[in-house]
Amino acid sequence: MSLEYTSSEMMTVTAARALENGTTCFVGIGLPSEAANLARLTHAPDVVLIYESGTLQTKPDILPLSIGDGELCESALTTVAVPEMFRYWLQGGKVNVGFLGTAQIDRFANLNTTLIGDYREPKVRLPGGGGAPEIATNAGEVFITLKHSRRAFVKDVDFVTTLGFGRDGKGRDNVPNIGKGPTRVITDLCVMKPDPETKELVVVSLHPGVNREDVMDATGWEVRFADQLESTPEPSEKELEILRELKARTERAHTGE
């Protein structure tokens, strides 16, 4: 019998499985942090998690509220200055994977966390890029995770905060000392990867219970599907148990219970 789980749990488990044991991962707050720590607590105990505040090989017992959460520093192997984090560790090529979230993403995997609408008169101002622009250009590859909707998946982002493959899919062509860029996008509906030639995102796997129409309805461009479309494996009982306990532990800690 299939286990009962939510679409959010499906997304987190799928994103966690993307991280291999021993990988050095620069982690964003929110969904990427949830997935990266689930990976550490399950199949990838030797994954090295790095956060922007300078914490190296951190092993938080609860999910951090921000990069400045004391839990990260207390559980880290060591903490270095932010300039050293970026200049030596990230720009020095020591990060295998950058794990990012976003507010908007387009067909060429460009990310927008700056604003919605016109730059001079935006409808909404967002938090900004933080370290994401540097992570996306210096990490070996980038994983992105976010919930799937037309508001988030747009044909062209309103502002390119973080480079995917540029407005035309050629933004990384012939640029030296730059990583592969986004290699997969994990949502609550599917998994997407860039086309090897055009770099446009293509659906390669559908989550259980999701059909093509669900993805098309939630995507702001005429999305393509791989010729060999796969079905994403369901979460295991162990993965769900560990994820739920992690989130419950986090909730108790943050509410003071």
How many other CB atoms sit within 10 Å of the CB of residue 253?
A: 14
Give the dihedral of Cα atoms 149, 150, 155, 158; nearest 10 deg: -90
200 labelled catalytic: no
Which residue among 4, 9, 34, 52 is the active-site one?
52
Distance from C-alpha of 161 to C-alpha of 191, rounded to nearest angstrom: 22
Distance from C-alpha of 41 to C-alpha of 31, rounded to nearest angstrom: 15
Distance from C-alpha of 221 to C-alpha of 3, rounded to nearest angstrom: 33
> What tokens does 246 get?
């992690």
Where do the H-state alpha helices sit in 64-207? 70-74, 82-84, 132-138
Determine contact, residues 223/194, Cβ cutoff 8 Å.
no
Q: Is 87 helix (H, G, I), strand (E, B) or coil?
A: helix
> What tokens does 92 get?
């020095």
Distance from C-alpha of 248 to C-alpha of 49, rounded to nearest angstrom: 21
State the catalytic residues: 52
